[in-house]
Amino acid sequence: AQSVAQPEDQVNVAEGNPLTVKCTYSVSGNPYLFWYVQYPNRGLQFLLKYITGDNLVKGSYGFEAEFNKSQTSFHLKKPSALVSDSALYFCAVRDSNSGYALNFGKGTSLLVTP
């Protein structure tokens, strides 16, 4: 079985400060990991993914994520937050031993204040 946990319902950060949105996962095989962002009244937009290779993955809008196998984590990061980054962020995982569907976390609401 595959699962993903986002331990924080909400993350607040001041504009210009670094941000981290946490994600941990559980799979039986190799993990394929994804981050998506959802703006109000919109569908989910792909940010980045880890399939294999370099543990630090760079994605859209200046976001990056670090895959840590020993801690089973895939935290989303950005060095300097923008007010426009305020949105709902979803972590998702697919187990290489399972089908093609992704298992999404509950989502973390990011609020960046001016």
Partner 1 sequence: DARVTQTPRHKVTEMGQEVTMRCQPILGHNTVFWYRQTMMQGLELLAYFRNRAPLDDSGMPKDRFSAEMPDATLATLKIQPSEPRDSAVYFCASGLTGTSGGVYNEQFFGPGTRLTVL
58 sits near partner 1 (criterion: CB under 8 A)? no
61 sits near partner 1 (criterion: CB under 8 A)? no
Amino acid at 60: S
10 sits near partner 1 (criterion: CB under 8 A)? no
CB of 38 to partner 1, least distance (A): 9
28 sits near partner 1 (criterion: CB under 8 A)? no
94 beta partners: 32
Q: Which is nearer to partner 1, 81 or 90 (by Cβ)?
A: 90
Binder among 61, 96, 111, 113 for partner 1 (CB under 8 A): 96
Q: Could you tell me which stretch among 14-22, 62-70, 77-85, 102-110 binds partner 1 (CB under 8 A)?
A: 102-110
Q: Could you tell me which stretch among 14-22, 61-69, 71-79, 101-109 binds partner 1 (CB under 8 A)?
A: 101-109
Per-residue 3-state assignment (H helix, E strand, C coil) for the chain:
CCEEECCCCEEEEECCCCEEECCEEECCCCEEEEEEEECCCCCEEEEEEECCCCCEEECHHHCEEEEECCCCEEEEEECCCCHHHCEEEEEEEEECCCCCCCEECCCEEEEEEC
Q: Which is nearer to partner 1, 54 or 100 (by Cβ)?
A: 100
